[in-house]
Structure formats: C-alpha cells, structure tokens
Amino acid sequence: MRSTLIVTSVLGAMVLAAAPVAGADPAQGTLKVQATTGSDPIPVSGLSVGVTTCAAGSVLATLTTGADGTAAHDFAPNCYQAEVTSVPSGCTLASMAYVQVDVRAGVPVVAPFQLHCA
C-alpha cells in the first residue's frame, strides 16, 4: 500500500512537471518596454509604445508601462521597432523615440526608454 502511494505521488509530480505553462509559447520571445527617469533609475508609468516589425507596416501591439515602468508582449522571432506614441504628463523623452530589437524564441529582450520627469 505504501509503495503504491509513493509511486502514484512520484508519477503525479512527473506529469505536473511535464505539463506546459499555460499561455507560454516556446516559439515566441518577449519584448519588454522599460521606462525610467533619473540616474537611479526610477520607473515611469504611462509611457505608450507602438510595436511594428523593422520593415515597418501596421502597429502589431501598443504597450503602456505600468507602475513598475514596464510592459511586455510575446512576439514571433523577428526584428521589431518599439516607438514612443505617448509620454506621461510632466515628462519629456530623454532618449531616442524608437528602439529596434531582435526577438528570439524563449529570450526576453528589453527596449529601454529614458525620460525627464518633473
């Protein structure tokens, strides 16, 4: 009885470990927008960024940073351009208005934006 319980527990744990994470697609990579201000750096919420492929075209996603100064979205591997579309009130852009990044499967990549905020 005890060995059956142990075997069942081990098999159950193996099945759970092998199950894919819900929503995760190993064929995609994550593009993370990061908005900061100051030399410390302090996160900035409310920065909106439109994402297109580097070859241009229509906007695939619009990301807006949250309280932690970040926003993320999964994309298929490719070259993407993240371009600022809206800056929070009281802030001005201190870096370039766009960043190009290469998204690769399973590898997170950051598009950083620096702002000056009052």
- Whether pLDDT at 21 is above 80: no
- Residues linked to residue 80 through DSSP beta bridges, in sequence order: 53, 101
Domains, the chain, ordered by start: 29-117 (2.60.40.10)
User: The pTM is what?
Assistant: 0.77
What would the pLDDT profile of 57-100 be if each residue is shown by its tens digit?
899 999 999 999 999 999 999 999 999 999 999 999 999 999 99
Residues 94 and 91: their CA atoms lie apart, in Å, by 9
At residue 48, the pLDDT reads: 99
Shortest CA distance to 34 belongs to which of 49, 18, 21? 49
